[in-house]
């Protein structure tokens, strides 16, 4: 069995190089990349629930 543990010193010559840019097409903007994963968000609708809860509690405070 081979030992695959490597040390960062082995990558010293490439560690600070810039990421390669694709030649065939431009990179996708961050907004579009994020949108690809939006359907898989675990907490879909969470923000609306939080806003509604805040509104309900503010109404209670005002009536006291």
pLDDT at 43 over 80: no
Q: What is the pLDDT of residue 17?
A: 92
pLDDT classification of 51: cutoffs 50, 70, 90: very high
pLDDT at 29 over 90: no
What's the chain's average pLDDT?
82
DSSP the chain: -------GGGGTTTTTSPPPPPSSSPPPPHHHHHHHHGGG-TTTTHHHHHHHHHHHHHHHHHH-
pLDDT classification of 36: cutoffs 50, 70, 90: confident
Q: What is the mean pLDDT of residues 27-55?
A: 81
């Amino acid at each position: 069995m081979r030992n695959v543990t490597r040390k960062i010193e082995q990558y010293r010559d490439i560690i600070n190089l810039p990421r390669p840019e694709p030649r065939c097409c431009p990179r996708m903007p961050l907004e579009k990349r994020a949108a690809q994963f939006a359907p898989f968000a675990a907490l879909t609708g969470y923000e609306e629930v939080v806003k509604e809860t805040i509104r309900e509690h503010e109404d209670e405070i005002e009536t006291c």
